C-alpha cells in the first residue's frame, strides 16, 4: 500500500516522468475491469476501495492515459477516492488539476467523470460557490452513452448541495431528474437515491411526517435491492425524524439497527456525521426530558457522553462541510442545557459564521431560530448574541425561511 501510494503521489507531481507506455488491448481490458471494481467498492466498502485503489493506480500511472479508453476519466475518479472517505482534499484537488488541462471538448466520457469528481470535491470541502450549475446537456449526453451510475451520483451530490444552500426549487428539479432516470431506464439505484434525497430534504425542511413516510418506503426499497449505503442514510434520517416527533423509543430502535448494519469499514464521513448528529439529538431530547436532575442519577455522565458525541461530530465535519453548521449548533444546545450559556453562544456564533461562509442557508436559519428562542427564555443570562437581540435573531431566521420559500408553519 505505502509503495503504491508514494508512487501515485510522485506521478501527480512529476507527470512528465510517468504516463508514457502505450497499453495493449489486454492491458486496457485489465484497467477497465479494475475501474469497475473500484466503482462497486465505492458504494459498498469505501475503506477497501481506498486501499485497493493504489494497486490500481500502479497500473494507471505507467500508461499514457490519453491512449486508454476514458483514461483521463479514470484518473479523475481517483480524486473522489481521496475525497469520499475523507483522506485528502489536497491530493483530490491535485488530481483534478492534472486532469483538467488534458481534457478535450470532443471527448465526452472523461468530462462526465471529471465533473462527477469535481462536484464531490467542492461539496465535501465546503467550496459550494465553486460548484457549477446543473448541466442538463451533460446529463442527457451521459445517459445516452449509458453512464447511469456516475450521472445519478453527480445529480445526488448536486441536489444535496442545493438542499443545504436552501435552493429547494433546484433541488426538486434534480430529484425529479433522478426519478426520471429510474422511470426511463429502469435503473433501480436512481430510485434508491430519490428516496434518500427526498427524505433528506423533508427532514431539513421539518416536514417530519412526510419524511417518515418517504424513509419507510425508501428502506423497504433499499432492503429489497440490497442497497446498503442508502440503507445507512435512510436509517439515520428516519431516526432524526422520530426524534423530532418525540418518538425516542422508536429512534433508539432505528439507531440500534443502524449500528448493526453499519460496520466501520463501510462508514464514510458523510454517514458518520448523520449517525453522530442523530445520536446527539437523541441524547439532547432525553436530557431535556430529565432537566432539573442533570447531575443526579448519572446525569453528569450522560452530559459527558453527549459532549463526546458533539465533539466527534465537529471533528468529523472537517471532512464533510455540510454537517458543520448543525454540529456546532447541537453542541451549543447541550452547553446551554447544562447552564454554560457563554459557551453555547460561542458555539452558535461559530455555527453562524460557518453557515454564512458555506452558504448553508437552511442550517443557518435553524441556528438563528435556536439562538433567538433560547435567549428569550427566562433562565437566559444574556440579552443578545453578536449584537443581535432575541427578536432580531428570530427576525433573521424568518427572513431566511421567507427567501427560501419555506412556509412559516414548516419553520
Which three-class secondary structure string do you get for 113-135?
HHHHHHHHHHHHHCCHHHCCCCC
Region 229-243: what's the mean pLDDT? Answer: 92
Region 254-282: what's the mean pLDDT? Answer: 88
Higher pLDDT, 389 or 406: 389
Q: Lowest-pLDDT range, 3-7, 44-48, 364-368, 374-378? A: 44-48
Task: Give the Cα separation of 388 and 396 in Å (integer).
Answer: 10
Higher pLDDT, 226 or 398: 398
pTM exceeding 0.75:
yes
244: nearest Cα among 157, 171, 326, 343? 326
Asked whether the predicted pLDDT for residue 190 surpasses 50, the reply is: yes
Per the CB < 8 A criterion, the answer to whether 83 and 89 are in contact is: yes
DSSP notation for 229-274: HHHHHHHHHHHHHHHHTT-HHHHHHHHHHHHHH--GGG--HHHHHH
Task: Give the Cα separation of 119 and 26 in Å (integer).
Answer: 32
Asked whether the predicted pLDDT for residue 148 surpasses 80, the reply is: yes
Q: Is 64 left (phi over 0), alpha (psi -120 to 50) or beta?
A: beta
Q: Lowest-pLDDT range, 32-36, 209-213, 340-344, 379-383? A: 32-36
Q: Lowest-pLDDT range, 27-31, 51-55, 69-73? A: 51-55
Asked whether the predicted pLDDT for residue 1 surpasses 70, the reply is: no
Q: What is the pLDDT of residue 21?
A: 81
371: nearest Cα among 402, 403, 405, 328? 328
Q: What is the pLDDT of residue 296?
A: 46
Asked whether the predicted pLDDT for residue 122 surpasses 50, the reply is: yes
Asked whether the predicted pLDDT for residue 295 surpasses 70, the reply is: no
User: Which 3 state secondary structure label does DSSP give 366?
Assistant: helix
Question: What mean pLDDT, rounded, does the chain reach?
Answer: 89
Asked whether the predicted pLDDT for residue 228 surpasses 90, the reply is: no
Cβ-proximal residues to 345 (8 Å cutoff; 6+ apart), any chain: 332, 371, 382, 385
The enclosing H or E element of 202 equals helix 188-204
Per the CB < 8 A criterion, the answer to whether 165 and 361 are in contact is: yes
Q: What is the pLDDT of residue 16?
A: 72
DSSP state of 167: -
Higher pLDDT, 103 or 292: 103
Task: Give the Cα separation of 110 and 293 in Å (integer).
Answer: 60
Region 239-259: what's the mean pLDDT? Answer: 96
Region 337-348: what's the mean pLDDT? Answer: 97
Task: Give the Cα separation of 199 and 192 in Å (integer).
Answer: 11
Give the confidence band of 141 by pLDDT, cuts at 50, 70, 90: very high
Task: Give the Cα separation of 378 and 120 in Å (integer).
Answer: 44
Task: Give the Cα separation of 329 and 393 in Å (integer).
Answer: 14
Per the CB < 8 A criterion, the answer to whether 215 and 238 are in contact is: yes
How many CB atoms are located within 10 Å of the residue 407 CB? 10
Q: What is the pLDDT of residue 25?
A: 83
Asked whether the predicted pLDDT for residue 57 surpasses 90, the reply is: no
| pLDDT per residue as tens digits for the range 90-117 | 999 999 999 999 999 888 999 999 999 9
Asked whether the predicted pLDDT for residue 378 surpasses 70, the reply is: yes
Amino acid at each position: 500500500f505505502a509503495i503504491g501510494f508514494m508512487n501515485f503521489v510522485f506521478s501527480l507531481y512529476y507527470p512528465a516522468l510517468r504516463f508514457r507506455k502505450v497499453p495493449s488491448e489486454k492491458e486496457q481490458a485489465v484497467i477497465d475491469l479494475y475501474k469497475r471494481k473500484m466503482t462497486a467498492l465505492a458504494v459498498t466498502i469505501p475503506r477497501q476501495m481506498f486501499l485497493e485503489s493504489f494497486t490500481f493506480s500502479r497500473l494507471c500511472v505507467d500508461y499514457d492515459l490519453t491512449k486508454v479508453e476514458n483514461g483521463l476519466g479514470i484518473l479523475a475518479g481517483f480524486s473522489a477516492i481521496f475525497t469520499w472517505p475523507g483522506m485528502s482534499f489536497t491530493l483530490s484537488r491535485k488530481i483534478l488539476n492534472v486532469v483538467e488541462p488534458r481534457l478535450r471538448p470532443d471527448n465526452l466520457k472523461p468530462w462526465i467523470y471529471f465533473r462527477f469528481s469535481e462536484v464531490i470535491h467542492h461539496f465535501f470541502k465546503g467550496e459550494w460557490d465553486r460548484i457549477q450549475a446543473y448541466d442538463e446537456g451533460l446529463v442527457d449526453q451521459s445517459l445516452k452513452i449509458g453512464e447511469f451510475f456516475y450521472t445519478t451520483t453527480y445529480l445526488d451530490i448536486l441536489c444535496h448541495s442545493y438542499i443545504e444552500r436552501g435552493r429547494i426549487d433546484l433541488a426538486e428539479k434534480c430529484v425529479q431528474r433522478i426519478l426520471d432516470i429510474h422511470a426511463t431506464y429502469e435503473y433501480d439505484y436512481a430510485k434508491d437515491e430519490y428516496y434518500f434525497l427526498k427524505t433528506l430534504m423533508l427532514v431539513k425542511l421539518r416536514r417530519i411526517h412526510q419524511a417518515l413516510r418517504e424513509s419507510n418506503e425508501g428502506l423497504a426499497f433499499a432492503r429489497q435491492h440490497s442497497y446498503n449505503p442508502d440503507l445507512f442514510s435512510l436509517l439515520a434520517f428516519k431516526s432524526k425524524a422520530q426524534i423530532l416527533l418525540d418518538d425516542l423509543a422508536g429512534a433508539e430502535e432505528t439507531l440500534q439497527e443502524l449500528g448493526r448494519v453499519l460496520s466501520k469499514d463501510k462508514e464514510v464521513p458523510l454517514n458518520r456525521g448523520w449517525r453522530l448528529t442523530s445520536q446527539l439529538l437523541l441524547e439532547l431530547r432525553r436530557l431535556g426530558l430529565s432537566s432539573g436532575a442533570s447531575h443526579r442519577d448519572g446525569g453528569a455522565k450522560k452530559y459527558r457522553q453527549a459532549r463526546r458525541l458533539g465533539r466527534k461530530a465537529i471533528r468529523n465535519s472537517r471532512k464533510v462541510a455540510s454537517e458543520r453548521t448543525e454540529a456546532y449548533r447541537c453542541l451549543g444546545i447541550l452547553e446551554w442545557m447544562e447552564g454554560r450559556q457563554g459557551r453555547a453562544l460561542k458555539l452558535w456564533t461559530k455555527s453562524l459564521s460557518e453557515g454564512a461562509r458555506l452558504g448553508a442557508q437552511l442550517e443557518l436559519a435553524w441556528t438563528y431560530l435556536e439562538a433567538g428562542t433560547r435567549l428569550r427564555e427566562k433562565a437566559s443570562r444574556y440579552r443578545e448574541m453578536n449584537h443581535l437581540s432575541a427578536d432580531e435573531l428570530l427576525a433573521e431566521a424568518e427572513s431566511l425561511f421567507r427567501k427560501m420559500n419555506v412556509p412559516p408553519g414548516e419553520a
